[in-house]
Amino acid sequence: MSAAERPARAPRPTPAGSPGTAARAPLAVAPRRMPRASSGTFALVVGGVLTLGLLGLLGLNTMLAQGSFASHELAQQQAQLTVREQALQQEVAVLDSPQELARRALELGMVGSENPVFLDLRTNKILGTAKPGQRPPASVKVAPVPGTTVGAKPTTATAPTTTTAATTTTAATTTKPGTAH
C-alpha cells in the first residue's frame, strides 16, 4: 500500500506556544523493494538444471548398459565352465572305474593279493597271513573302458571282481566275530 492510499491520520495536538507548530506529515515506513531476477537469468538456471539432469541420466544409463554387458559375458563364461566341469567329472568317473584302475595297476607292475591281511586298530593286531601275489598269465587281457583316452593298448590282468569276492569270503572266515576290519 502506498502512502497515498492510506488514510491520513489526524495530526497530534501540539501545545500552544511550542516551537514548530507547523503541521507535519505523519511518518510511515516505506516497504522495501525486493530485487527480482530477470527472466533471462531464470531461464538460464532452469536450462542448466535440466541439462545437468539429462547428462546425469545419460551417465546412469551408460553405466547400466556396461553392467549388463559384463553380466552377460560372465553368464557365458559360467556356462562354459559348467560344461568343462561336467566333462572333467565324466573323465574322472571313467578313470575311477574298476577296469581302468586294474589296467593301470598292471601297467605299473602291481599284482593282486590272494590272501588279504587286516589290521584291528582297537587291539593293534594283524588278522590273517599275507601271501605274495602271483603275476597273471599273459593270455588274460583287460578290455579298455569305452571313452578313455589314457593308454590305448590293452594289457593283461586278472578280473578284480573275482579276486575281491574270494578275498571277502576269506576275510569273513578268518576274522573273529566282533572285531572291526
Count of other CB atoms within 10 angstroms of residue 71:
10
The predicted model scores a pTM of 0.38
pLDDT band at 147 (very low <50, low <70, confident <90, very high): low
- What digits encode the pLDDT tens for the residues 22-67? 678 888 888 888 777 678 888 999 999 999 999 999 999 999 999 9
Q: How far is Cα 132 from Cα 130, in angstroms, rounded to an integer? A: 7
- What digits encode the pLDDT tens for the residues 66-108? 999 999 999 999 999 999 999 999 999 999 999 999 899 888 9
Burial class (CB in 10 A: 0-12, 13-18, 19+), 107: middle
Q: What is the model's pLDDT at position 21?
A: 57
